[in-house]
Amino acid sequence: MTAYDRSANPAPVIQLDNVTFRRGDRTILDAISFAVRAGEHWSLIGPNGAGKSTILGFCGAVTHPTSGTVDILGRRLGHVELQTLRRSIGHVDPRHPIRSPLSLREVVLTGLTGTIETLLRWRPERAQVEHADKLIDQIGLSKRSDDVWPNLSQGERGRALVARALMSKPSLLLLDEPTTGLDVAAREQLLTTIADLEHTQPELASILVTHHLEELPSSTSHAVLLSDGRVVSAGPIHDVLTTANVSSAFEHPIRVGQHDRRWYALAESPPSLRALA
């Protein structure tokens, strides 16, 4: 595992120390350790079944580890009321199950109540509506504020969910495969919105789950590379996303590179095919 010196950095927003998670006789995660600080943008990367979503559950104060410790904003899971923690955590899930014809603005405002639907007899204050409109403007959807959810594209919905997650002014933002189901143009618009957070929300820490390197926002500063429930490497992204590390994690020869702060991965051709090229 790549060494990561924490001594010169501020206190972490979230820290996992030697975390293990078991389900029955099966070990899902084994000895997971890393720390995320304000202004850092991390990604959890690895093949299907590596344990990424389980780790995100710890970070969202949804799941407890079998052993080890998880500290969120200086408070330890198992020793704090969970709702208190969750108010400081924004969560972007592309599978957000909205069924009512709410407007984009109304959906963003539900980030204050932490609900799917607008609460009965709840009315946002003027300052809260202004804050929602500011966030909607930042994601480039001011002209769609009054449009109902079913009439929005998948890409517009993804960007709206980022604004919704930011309504409560969280210290930590979790993004669970946010580009799922998007075409290339919509994916790039959403990734630009996420990357812009390093400027619009400079103190915000984020953790994004993906198994595709091309889905990493350009703002990604750190990563945890996982395989079979173990950490292959963790720390600054240029130390983690090497050809050797990624090939090891995915158990396949993969060449890793970067262009204009965006990452890509290409499968290496077998020697016999390279000889024919």
Q: What is the pTM of this model?
A: 0.89
pLDDT tens readout for residues 123-146: 889 999 999 999 999 999 999 999
Collect the ranges in the chain with pLDDT lower than 50. 1-7, 273-277
| Long-range contacts of 20-24, Cβ-Cβ distance < 8 Å, separation of 24 or more | 20/65, 20/66, 20/67, 20/68, 21/51, 21/54, 21/58, 21/63, 21/65, 21/66, 22/66
pLDDT tens readout for residues 236-256: 999 999 999 999 999 999 999
CB neighbour class for 187 (10 Å; exposed up to 12, middle 13-18, buried from 19)? buried
Secondary structure (3-state) at 113:
helix
- The domains located in the chain, with CATH, are 1-88+170-239 (3.40.50.300), 99-169 (no CATH)
